[in-house]
Amino acid sequence: MREVGVLEAKTHLSALLDAVEKGGEAVLITRNGRPVAKLSPAEEATIMPRRASAAELAERFKALRERIAAANPDAENLTWEQLKEDARR
């Protein structure tokens, strides 16, 4: 893997991107000798999952609670101690 400093990366970014795109070679960008970023071909890039909004999370939680209630109709009437005991089994 090729290593370049931040200044060189800034100055030659287009050339580095061409090398990554055409040659498939990853480039490690360093600052004061320490790695800070990595340019890699898009196929290798890890896509970060988008974060769900609060409304989406609330909707998912509601759906989960409904599925649990449907699968365990008596669950609402259980005490905390009974739930803990069931979990230990």
Helix (H) or strand (E) segment spanning residue 3: strand 2-5
> How much is the pLDDT for 78?
78
Does residue 26 contact residue 20 with C-beta atoms inside 8 Å?
Answer: yes
Rounded distance between C-alpha atoms, residue 83 and residue 81, angstroms: 5
Q: Report the CATH fold assignment for 2-39.
A: YefM-like fold (3.40.1620)
Is the pTM for the entire model greater than 0.75?
no
Q: What's the CA gap between 70 and 79, in Å, rounded?
A: 18
The per-residue pLDDT for 45 is 55
Sorted by where each begins, the domain ranges of the chain are: 2-39, 54-83
pLDDT in tens, the chain (89 residues): 899 999 999 999 999 999 998 988 899 999 999 999 999 888 755 666 778 888 888 998 888 888 877 887 777 777 888 878 877 87
Backbone angles phi, psi at 50, to 5 degrees: -75, 150
Specify the pLDDT at position 43. Answer: 73
